[in-house]
Amino acid sequence: MNAAFPASTGAPLRLLLAAPRGFCAGVDRAIEIVELALQRYGAPVYVRHEIVHNRYVVDGLKAKGAVFVEELDEVPDGAPVVFSAHGVPKSVPAAATTRSLDWLDATCPLVSKVHRQAERQIEAGRHIVFIGHKGHPEVIGTLGQVPVGTITLIETADDVAALDFAPDAALAFLTQTTLSVDDTAEVVAALRARFPQIVGPKAEDICYATSNRQAAVKTIAPECQLVLVIGAPNSSNSLRLVEVAQRCGAEGRLIQRADEIDAAWLNGVAAIGLTAGASAPEELIQEVIDQLSTLRAVTVEQVVTAEEKMVFKLPRQLID
């Protein structure tokens, strides 16, 4: 795709638009679950935690009648409730069932896959070393799938040295789905070096969308002085895209909306990269392009590094 925008001031700006970018299949599914729940039950439909980490998306669903809460006890008796795409501890749906709440699980199926892997490793008698970011909703949800004391969270390769398991301990590792591919490989290598017997998943836990978006940034960033990533500050996969750009030698900046762009960022910039985290809708990409075109003459080149055709099934309650 090549598109020319009206010239304004300064030298022409080459804009490399990463593809894939933006919404993934898990995010599409989660948003559709809330929208279909609103159609089926009528407003309000309660959502525990942000359905996805994007203010624009959340505000749009609020306008349609979704009510976002942090804990289940904020949901009135008899009201429908949706669990976010990041997943929840087992205790949450159990509590919802105890209260006879009509609940829908919007957990990304790739996150649910990690949950099932965790259960199987515990059943096999292994202790799990989980690679992830402390406090992230996905990590909280995964830790809550297995009994306390059967899983240990680490974040970096340095944490591996502090593990106090016996050299021959029965161990397995799993990972958060939205991590840096390169950082995670480093941690896994450290685990395998220290505990050669450790068991890992047959396929990489980092989801296809996270891997694809990082690979796309690796392709465009070396040609750019600046890479803009549209995403929320609490979005793990978006923050990883900024880090990838920086490691490739470009200046990486996270923005949520086009109005955050500072014209001074474009000083001395001949080529700029643009991508979006998995929770950011395409209209925000166009908003940024439009904003940039008011500052410089812009030529957009879409750089495609992968095609994504993944689609996830909806919960049975919404398709019966």
Digit-coded pLDDT (tens) for 30-89: 999 999 999 999 999 999 999 999 999 999 999 999 999 999 999 999 999 999 999 999
Q: Which of 172, 205, 238 is the last residue of a domain?
A: 205
Structure tokens at 37: 């729940």
Structural domain boundaries, residue 77: 25-108
For the segment 9-14, the average pLDDT, to the nearest whole number, is 77
pLDDT band at 8; cut points 50, 70, 90:
very low
Active-site choice (32, 71, 74, 138): 138
Q: Report which residue type is found at 74.
A: E
pLDDT band at 10; cut points 50, 70, 90:
low
Q: What is the pTM of this model?
A: 0.92
Query: 264: exposed, middle or buried (C-beta count within 10 Å: 0-12, 13-18, 19+)?
Result: exposed
For helices 236-247 and 208-220, the axis angle rounded to 10 degrees is 30
* Alpha-carbon gap, residue 134 to 305, rounded angstroms: 31
CATH number of the domain bearing residue 97: 3.40.50.11270
Total of domains in the chain: 3
Q: Is 138 a catalytic residue?
A: yes
| β-strand pairing of 226-230 with 271-276 | parallel
Average pLDDT, the chain: 94
Q: Which of 205, 232, 253 is the last residue of a domain?
A: 205
Residue 104 pairs in a beta bridge with 82
Q: Quote the percentage of the chain above a pLDDT of 90.
A: 92
Q: Which of 205, 223, 257 is the last residue of a domain?
A: 205
* Alpha-carbon gap, residue 70 to 198, rounded angstroms: 36
CATH number of the domain bearing residue 297: 3.40.1010.20
User: 18, 297 in Cβ contact below 8 A?
Assistant: no
Q: Report which residue type is found at 279.
A: S
User: 72, 95 in Cβ contact below 8 A?
Assistant: yes
Residues 217 and 272 in one domain: yes
| β-strand pairing of 2-4 with 251-255 | unpaired
Residues 185 and 248 in one domain: no
The count of other CB atoms within 10 Å of the CB of residue 42 is 10
Digit-coded pLDDT (tens) for 156-167: 999 999 999 999
Please calculate the CA angle 18-22-23 and round it to the nearest 5 degrees: 145
